[in-house]
């Protein structure tokens, strides 16, 4: 695995949703680095990728309320245990659970194992609220998938918070977990 600057020189064979991420970031003038790797479905499988990226890696969880009327993309530090009750109290919503994969695909054009904040670029109706663990703001760099789990990106956290998220039309809400 090798960290390289920007998009692949040849995007042949890459999924359209991945190429859209590169187009989006390039259109914003945001610098990023990329590493291609075998499919990484879990945090454990991302271990070697994390070493190459040298960036804050987080768990991305798509949650919803019992009625499936409110959806939340939660970004939490990868090594932190997640306690639904703590999060639920902070956002004033009880009975949260993991959203079905169908919602992930419908709202974010992402399949399980590839969930990423960058999927919010596909959520033009703002059906998903972005919730970020405050601790993630402290890292200089942030790592995430470009909507597919065979590549990972290294971005400046400042660019994510000040350029990328606003360009996607979402406002982050910060929580303490």
pLDDT digits (tens, 9 = 90+) for 101-142: 999 999 999 998 899 999 999 999 999 999 999 999 888 998
DSSP per-residue codes, 70-92: -EEEEEEETTSPP-HHHHHHHHT
CA distance 40 to 133: 22
* Largest Cα span, the chain: 47
- Count the Cβ atoms, other than its own, within 10 Å of residue 63: 22
pLDDT score of 79: 79
Token look-up 């971005």 returns 155
User: Is the CATH code 3.90.960.10 the one for domain 4-175?
Assistant: yes
- Check: CB of residue 131 under 8 Å from CB of residue 84: no
pLDDT of 43 reads 63
Q: Which residues, 6 or more positions from 50, have their beta carbon under 8 angstroms from its beta carbon?
A: 57, 78, 143
Residue 49 has pLDDT above 80, yes or no: no
pLDDT tops 80 at residue 146: yes
| Number of other CB atoms surrounding residue 87 within 10 Å | 21
Q: Does the structure show a pLDDT above 90 at 44?
A: no
Q: How far apart are CA 4 and CA 40, in angstroms?
A: 18
Give the tens place of pLDDT for each residue, 77-110: 877 888 888 888 889 887 899 999 999 999 999 9
């Amino acid at each position: 695995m090798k960290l390289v600057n920007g998009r692949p020189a040849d995007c042949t064979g890459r999924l359209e949703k991945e190429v859209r991420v590169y187009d989006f970031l390039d259109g914003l003038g945001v610098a990023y680095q990329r590493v291609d790797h075998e499919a990484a479905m879990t945090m454990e499988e991302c271990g070697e990728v994390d070493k190459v990226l040298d960036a804050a890696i987080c768990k991305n969880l798509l949650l919803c309320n019992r009625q499936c009327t409110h959806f939340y993309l939660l970004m939490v530090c990868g090594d932190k245990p997640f306690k639904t009750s703590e999060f639920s109290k902070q956002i004033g919503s009880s009975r949260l659970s993991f959203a079905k994969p169908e919602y992930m695909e419908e709202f974010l054009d992402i399949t399980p194992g590839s969930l990423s904040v960058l999927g919010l670029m596909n959520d033009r109706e703002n059906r998903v609220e972005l919730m970020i663990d405050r601790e993630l703001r402290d890292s200089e760099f942030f790592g995430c998938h470009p909507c597919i789990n065979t590549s990972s990106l290294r971005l400046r956290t400042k660019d994510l918070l000040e350029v990328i998220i606003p360009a996607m039309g979402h406002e982050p809400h910060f929580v303490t977990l």
